[in-house]
């Protein structure tokens, strides 16, 4: 899968148009050519790119302008290439490698955010179940309150199953809480034997 963001090619080489055509055909990414650093800088201010291919000739001969471009890269992957001595094969190999690295890092970042979210949700659900258990342990819980506690307990357990019970169990072990099977339901059954239960 290719990224939808374009590629930027920065080189004064007369092979620029040919490189653009080959990169676009081979990667499927829209590719732009900048003959100098000023053109590249103007385009990078307008949009971000998947990867930016920079001619090493410019890095060596225009260090100030090169620094400005590098500061504008953002999440774009830089590819440094000596166009004077590198062929098309090398160009394609380096760009494809950069796109693959970018794709891996984006996947890892998404996975990290997902894990953080799931961990935060499991933590909240574990705290909710513990609160329900402690609330039902209070002597003489009113039937109406007990019904509401049961509803919260059931909701927390359902969400916990959707998130992944194993992850929430592991979190519970880390904080020293062992998830009971159905303490609230048992307490509610015991209470209902003594007094009618109002669930509204």
Residues 81 and 135 occupy one common structural domain: no
The candidate with the shortest Cα–Cα distance to 59, out of 83, 24, 42, 95, is: 83
Per the CB < 8 A criterion, the answer to whether 48 and 22 are in contact is no
Residues 33 and 80 occupy one common structural domain: yes
Residues 137 and 65 occupy one common structural domain: no
Q: Sheet harboring 51-55: ordered strands across?
A: 31-34, 7-10, 51-55, 77-81
Q: Is the pLDDT of residue 157 over 70?
A: yes
* Residue 106 within any structural domain of the chain: no
Residues 123 and 78 occupy one common structural domain: no
Residues 64 and 134 occupy one common structural domain: no
Q: Which of 86, 103, 124 is the last residue of a domain?
A: 86
* Residue 98 within any structural domain of the chain: no
What is the per-residue pLDDT for 10?
96
Per the CB < 8 A criterion, the answer to whether 6 and 30 are in contact is yes
Residues 130 and 182 occupy one common structural domain: yes
Q: Is the pLDDT of residue 127 over 80?
A: yes
Residue 167's domain comprises 112-194
Question: pLDDT > 90: what percent of the chain?
Answer: 41
Residues 69 and 127 occupy one common structural domain: no
DSSP-derived 3-state class of residue 34? strand
Residues 138 and 183 occupy one common structural domain: yes
Element (H, E) at 174: helix 165-174
Question: Which residue reads 């971000």 in tokens?
Answer: 48
56-65 residue pLDDT tens: 999 999 999 9
* Residue 162 within any structural domain of the chain: yes
Residues 186 and 148 occupy one common structural domain: yes
Residues 75 and 131 occupy one common structural domain: no
Q: Is the pLDDT of residue 92 over 90?
A: yes
What is the per-residue pLDDT for 182?
53
Q: Out of 135-144, 162-171, 177-186, which region has the weakest mean confidence (pLDDT)?
A: 177-186
What is the per-residue pLDDT for 150?
85
What is the per-residue pLDDT for 160?
80
* Residue 140 within any structural domain of the chain: yes
Per the CB < 8 A criterion, the answer to whether 129 and 156 are in contact is yes
* Residue 159 within any structural domain of the chain: yes
Residues 82 and 116 occupy one common structural domain: no
CA gap 69, 149 in Å, rounded: 59
Structural domain count of the chain: 2
* Residue 43 within any structural domain of the chain: yes
What is the per-residue pLDDT for 196?
43
How far, in Å, are 28, 49, 76, 163, 168 from residue 124 at the CA level? 44, 38, 36, 12, 10
Query: Interhelix angle for 143-163 vs 183-194, to 10°?
Result: 160
* Residue 119 within any structural domain of the chain: yes
Q: Is the pLDDT of residue 112 over 60?
A: yes
Higher pLDDT, 114 or 89: 89
Query: For residue 81, what are the β-bridge partners?
Result: 55
Tally of CB atoms within 10 A around 200:
5
Q: What is the CATH number of the domain that holds 22?
A: 3.40.50
Q: Is the pLDDT of residue 194 over 70?
A: no
Residue 191 banded pLDDT, cuts 50, 70, 90 = very low
Residue 2 banded pLDDT, cuts 50, 70, 90 = very low
Considering the chain, what is the average pLDDT of its residues? 81
* Residue 29 within any structural domain of the chain: yes
């Amino acid at each position: 899968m290719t990224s939808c963001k374009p590629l930027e090619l920065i080189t004064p080489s007369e092979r620029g148009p040919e490189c653009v055509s080959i990169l676009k055909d081979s990667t499927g990414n829209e590719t732009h050519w900048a003959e100098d650093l000023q053109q590249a800088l103007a385009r990078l201010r307008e949009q971000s790119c998947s990867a930016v291919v920079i001619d090493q000739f410019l890095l060596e001969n225009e260090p100030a302008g090169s620094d400005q471009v590098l500061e504008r890269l953002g999440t774009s992957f830089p590819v440094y290439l000596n166009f004077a001595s590198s062929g098309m094969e090398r160009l394609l190999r380096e760009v494809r490698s950069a796109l693959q690295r970018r794709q891996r890092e984006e996947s890892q970042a998404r996975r990290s955010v997902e894990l953080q979210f799931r961990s935060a949700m499991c933590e909240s659900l574990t705290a909710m179940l513990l609160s329900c258990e402690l609330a039902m342990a209070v002597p003489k819980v009113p039937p109406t309150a007990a019904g509401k506690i049961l509803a919260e307990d059931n909701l927390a357990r359902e969400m916990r199953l959707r998130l992944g019970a194993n992850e929430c169990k592991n979190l519970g072990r880390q904080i020293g809480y062992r998830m009971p099977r159905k303490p609230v339901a048992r307490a509610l059954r015991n209470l209902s034997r003594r007094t009618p239960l109002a669930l509204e």
